[in-house]
Amino acid sequence: MDKDQQVDVFNIFHDGGIVQLQRKNTNDIELQVDILYLAEMVNPTYTHFIAILKSCGSFFFDTWERDNTSKRYDDVQELQTLLEDMDVLSAEYKDGVIEVCCWSDDEKIAGGLLSFSCEDIALFDEGGKEMSFVELEAIARQYWDDFSNRGRKAHENC
Protein backbone atom coordinates (compact mmCIF):
# COMPACT_ATOMS: atom_id res chain seq x y z
CA MET A 1 0.00 0.00 0.00
CA ASP A 2 1.53 3.34 -0.98
CA LYS A 3 1.58 6.40 1.31
CA ASP A 4 -1.46 8.01 -0.35
CA GLN A 5 -3.48 4.85 0.27
CA GLN A 6 -2.22 4.66 3.86
CA VAL A 7 -3.48 8.22 4.41
CA ASP A 8 -6.76 7.41 2.69
CA VAL A 9 -7.37 4.45 5.02
CA PHE A 10 -7.71 6.93 7.88
CA ASN A 11 -9.74 9.39 5.80
CA ILE A 12 -12.12 6.51 5.04
CA PHE A 13 -12.27 5.84 8.80
CA HIS A 14 -13.54 9.43 9.34
CA ASP A 15 -15.79 9.50 12.44
CA GLY A 16 -14.55 6.07 13.48
CA GLY A 17 -13.30 5.60 17.01
CA ILE A 18 -9.91 4.14 17.84
CA VAL A 19 -10.96 1.84 20.66
CA GLN A 20 -8.07 -0.57 20.97
CA LEU A 21 -4.36 -0.25 20.38
CA GLN A 22 -1.68 -2.86 20.94
CA ARG A 23 1.82 -3.69 19.86
CA LYS A 24 1.74 -6.98 17.94
CA ASN A 25 5.50 -7.48 17.92
CA THR A 26 8.52 -5.21 18.03
CA ASN A 27 7.53 -3.21 14.94
CA ASP A 28 3.80 -3.77 14.25
CA ILE A 29 0.94 -1.91 15.93
CA GLU A 30 -2.69 -3.03 15.73
CA LEU A 31 -5.57 -0.56 15.87
CA GLN A 32 -9.22 -1.48 16.25
CA VAL A 33 -11.37 1.20 14.65
CA ASP A 34 -15.07 1.14 15.49
CA ILE A 35 -16.97 2.46 12.51
CA LEU A 36 -20.37 0.84 12.53
CA TYR A 37 -21.76 2.31 9.31
CA LEU A 38 -18.92 0.87 7.21
CA ALA A 39 -18.49 -2.40 9.10
CA GLU A 40 -22.19 -3.18 8.59
CA MET A 41 -21.60 -3.00 4.84
CA VAL A 42 -19.42 -6.12 5.20
CA ASN A 43 -21.71 -7.93 7.65
CA PRO A 44 -24.77 -6.47 9.46
CA THR A 45 -23.41 -7.75 12.80
CA TYR A 46 -19.96 -6.14 12.44
CA THR A 47 -18.92 -2.95 14.23
CA HIS A 48 -15.21 -2.48 13.49
CA PHE A 49 -12.15 -3.01 11.34
CA ILE A 50 -8.58 -3.88 12.31
CA ALA A 51 -5.64 -1.98 10.83
CA ILE A 52 -2.15 -3.34 11.48
CA LEU A 53 0.59 -0.79 10.93
CA LYS A 54 3.49 -2.88 9.64
CA SER A 55 7.11 -2.05 10.48
CA CYS A 56 6.43 1.20 12.33
CA GLY A 57 9.44 3.49 12.44
CA SER A 58 7.80 6.05 14.68
CA PHE A 59 4.50 6.19 16.55
CA PHE A 60 3.44 9.02 18.84
CA PHE A 61 0.49 11.19 19.82
CA ASP A 62 0.62 14.94 20.47
CA THR A 63 -2.39 16.04 22.52
CA TRP A 64 -4.31 19.28 22.33
CA GLU A 65 -5.07 20.00 25.95
CA ARG A 66 -8.04 22.22 26.72
CA ASP A 67 -5.72 24.47 28.76
CA ASN A 68 -3.85 25.23 25.48
CA THR A 69 -0.86 23.04 26.30
CA SER A 70 0.36 19.97 24.46
CA LYS A 71 1.97 16.72 25.54
CA ARG A 72 3.66 14.00 23.51
CA TYR A 73 3.03 10.34 24.25
CA ASP A 74 4.87 7.46 22.60
CA ASP A 75 4.22 4.58 24.99
CA VAL A 76 1.63 2.24 23.46
CA GLN A 77 0.05 1.46 26.85
CA GLU A 78 -0.45 5.17 27.63
CA LEU A 79 -1.72 5.75 24.11
CA GLN A 80 -4.29 2.97 24.51
CA THR A 81 -5.90 4.92 27.34
CA LEU A 82 -5.72 8.26 25.51
CA LEU A 83 -6.93 7.03 22.13
CA GLU A 84 -9.84 4.90 23.31
CA ASP A 85 -12.03 8.01 23.46
CA MET A 86 -10.77 9.60 20.23
CA ASP A 87 -12.53 9.80 16.88
CA VAL A 88 -10.73 10.12 13.55
CA LEU A 89 -11.31 13.38 11.69
CA SER A 90 -8.82 13.32 8.83
CA ALA A 91 -5.32 12.33 7.81
CA GLU A 92 -2.46 13.68 5.73
CA TYR A 93 1.13 12.84 4.86
CA LYS A 94 3.50 15.49 6.17
CA ASP A 95 7.25 15.61 6.80
CA GLY A 96 7.68 11.87 6.28
CA VAL A 97 4.91 10.75 8.64
CA ILE A 98 1.19 10.14 8.44
CA GLU A 99 -0.70 12.51 10.73
CA VAL A 100 -4.16 11.43 11.84
CA CYS A 101 -6.16 14.29 13.32
CA CYS A 102 -8.32 13.05 16.21
CA TRP A 103 -10.91 14.75 18.41
CA SER A 104 -12.45 14.01 21.77
CA ASP A 105 -15.26 15.14 24.06
CA ASP A 106 -12.94 14.68 27.05
CA GLU A 107 -12.89 17.53 29.57
CA LYS A 108 -9.08 17.80 29.53
CA ILE A 109 -8.03 16.74 26.02
CA ALA A 110 -9.72 18.19 22.95
CA GLY A 111 -7.89 15.90 20.55
CA GLY A 112 -4.51 15.66 18.93
CA LEU A 113 -2.34 14.29 16.18
CA LEU A 114 -1.49 10.61 15.95
CA SER A 115 1.72 10.50 13.91
CA PHE A 116 3.44 7.43 12.53
CA SER A 117 5.48 6.00 9.71
CA CYS A 118 5.09 2.42 8.55
CA GLU A 119 5.93 0.20 5.61
CA ASP A 120 2.37 -0.99 5.02
CA ILE A 121 -1.09 -1.28 6.55
CA ALA A 122 -2.83 -4.66 6.68
CA LEU A 123 -6.63 -4.38 6.87
CA PHE A 124 -9.05 -6.92 8.30
CA ASP A 125 -12.80 -7.02 8.80
CA GLU A 126 -14.21 -7.97 12.19
CA GLY A 127 -14.33 -11.62 11.18
CA GLY A 128 -10.58 -11.63 10.56
CA LYS A 129 -10.75 -11.69 6.76
CA GLU A 130 -7.93 -9.68 5.25
CA MET A 131 -9.04 -7.04 2.78
CA SER A 132 -7.23 -4.82 0.32
CA PHE A 133 -7.29 -1.05 0.27
CA VAL A 134 -9.34 -1.25 -2.96
CA GLU A 135 -11.98 -3.36 -1.16
CA LEU A 136 -12.18 -0.90 1.76
CA GLU A 137 -12.42 2.01 -0.66
CA ALA A 138 -15.24 0.27 -2.58
CA ILE A 139 -17.18 -0.35 0.65
CA ALA A 140 -16.87 3.33 1.59
CA ARG A 141 -17.85 4.48 -1.91
CA GLN A 142 -20.92 2.20 -1.85
CA TYR A 143 -21.95 3.51 1.57
CA TRP A 144 -21.70 7.16 0.50
CA ASP A 145 -23.45 6.49 -2.84
CA ASP A 146 -26.30 4.80 -0.94
CA PHE A 147 -26.35 7.68 1.57
CA SER A 148 -26.59 10.21 -1.25
CA ASN A 149 -29.39 8.27 -2.95
CA ARG A 150 -31.35 8.05 0.33
CA GLY A 151 -31.03 11.81 0.75
CA ARG A 152 -32.14 12.46 -2.81
CA LYS A 153 -35.18 10.18 -2.40
CA ALA A 154 -36.11 11.80 0.90
CA HIS A 155 -35.91 15.23 -0.74
CA GLU A 156 -38.13 14.08 -3.62
CA ASN A 157 -40.78 12.91 -1.13
CA CYS A 158 -40.99 16.30 0.61
Q: What is the CATH number of the domain that holds 58?
A: 2.30.310
What pTM, to 2 d.p., does this model score?
0.90
Residue 40, domain extent: 3-156
* Local structure of 142: helix, strand or coil: helix
User: Residue 155 pLDDT more than 60?
Assistant: no
Give the pLDDT band (50/70/90) at residue 151: low
What is the model's pLDDT at position 20?
92
User: Residue 154 pLDDT more than 80?
Assistant: no
What is the tally of structural domains in the chain?
1
